[in-house]
């Protein structure tokens, strides 16, 4: 059978696709190759995936109902879906809010509506975000916590995805799992993320902007830990019983680090000191993220192992190779 993977040219999508192919799955990948960040990086990821015979790619926008429906009708063997396509970035949502409504809300709805017509659908896993916890002050963040106080439009769209998912599980019996990712980093990562931008600035001898004077905590999670979590979720569709077959899990490192320590480890990996420019907190940012992962441990066997002292040097090694730094 076949796995449909949206956002296949993205950071997490690329690594999930490689893992699926590595265990013998056929993967149909879709992506619109948007220019939110350099499409050349997305094409470089795709180039590596397309070396595999079991990988098929189609460039399309998930908000395009006709294109998504046509794909579903053509690929009748799809029995599982990993839906990762989204407009990412908290700060960019202040500049281009309609992109978030178009991709994250309408696109999510289009994918679910098309996939509910798949005759053999066993499970649909989709990406949510730790941003949904918004202004919550209780740490660590637990899936049972209230998440009705988002502090960014990005977070609001991701929470909307969860509510739409619950609705489709309730109305149509679709097995759905939402994964709240916590600050994922690693090789082939997104250039808009802080660790990537910091690394580039360090190698180019430019100052890095440290928000909130570095007084921030992040549950930095290696892609090497995220991918097994995604696959474990995919392999364990939720059962219905007395509630809709819809589950939500945190996938985080369960080990929050101070931003300044993170920068210190990155400096060591780069072999250079960063020029720091301390600036105020950005609108929409969260001061701390910290994942309660007990439900994911219990149900998925999720167990993150990678500390930033291991994960960041792996990213820097990839950065040097890819950019010739």
- Catalytic amino acids? 154
How far is residue 98's CA from residue 92's CA, in Å, rounded to a whole number? Answer: 11
SS3 letters for 151-198? CCHHHHHHHHHHHHHHHHHHHHCCCEEEEEECCEECCCCCCCCHHHHH
Element (H, E) at 18: helix 11-22
User: What is the CB neighbour count within 10 angstroms for residue 267?
Assistant: 18
How far is residue 238's CA from residue 205's CA, in Å, rounded to a whole number? Answer: 49
Non-local (6+) Cβ contacts of 145 within 8 A are: 133, 136, 138
Locate 225 and state its tokens: 């830990």
27 φ, ψ (degrees, to nearest 5) = -125, 125
């Amino acid at each position: 059978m076949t796995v449909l993977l949206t956002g296949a040219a993205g950071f997490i999508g690329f690594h999930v696709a490689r893992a699926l192919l590595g265990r013998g799955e056929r993967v149909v990948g879709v992506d619109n190759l948007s220019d939110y960040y350099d499409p050349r990086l997305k094409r470089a990821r795709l180039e590596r995936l397309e070396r595999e015979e079991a990988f098929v790619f189609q460039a399309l926008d998930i908000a395009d109902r006709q294109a998504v429906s046509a794909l579903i009708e053509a690929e009748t063997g799809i029995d599982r879906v990993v839906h990762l396509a989204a407009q990412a970035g908290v700060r960019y949502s202040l500049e281009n809010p309609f992109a978030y409504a178009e991709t994250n809300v309408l696109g999510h709805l289009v994918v679910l509506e098309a996939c509910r017509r798949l005759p053999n659908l066993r499970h649909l896993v989709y990406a949510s975000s730790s941003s949904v916890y918004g202004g919550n002050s209780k740490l660590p963040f637990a899936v049972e916590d209230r998440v009705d106080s988002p502090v960014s439009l990005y977070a609001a769209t991701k929470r909307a995805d969860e509510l739409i998912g619950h609705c489709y599980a309730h109305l149509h019996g679709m097995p759905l799992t939402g994964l709240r990712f916590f600050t994922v980093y690693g090789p082939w990562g997104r250039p808009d993320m802080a660790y990537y931008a910091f690394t580039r600035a360090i190698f180019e001898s430019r100052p890095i902007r440290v928000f909130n004077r570095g007084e921030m905590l992040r549950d930095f999670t290696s892609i090497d830990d995220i991918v097994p979590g995604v696959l474990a979720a995919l392999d364990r569709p939720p059962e219905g019983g007395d509630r809709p077959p819809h589950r939500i899990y945190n996938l985080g490192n369960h080990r929050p680090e101070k931003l300044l320590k993170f920068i210190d480890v990155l400096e060591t990996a780069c072999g250079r000191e960063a020029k720091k420019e301390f600036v105020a907190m950005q609108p929409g940012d969260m001061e701390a993220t910290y994942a309660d992962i007990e439900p994911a441990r219990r149900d998925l066997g999720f167990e993150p192992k990678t500390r930033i002292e291991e994960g960041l040097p792996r990213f820097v090694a990839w950065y040097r190779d890819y950019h010739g730094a």
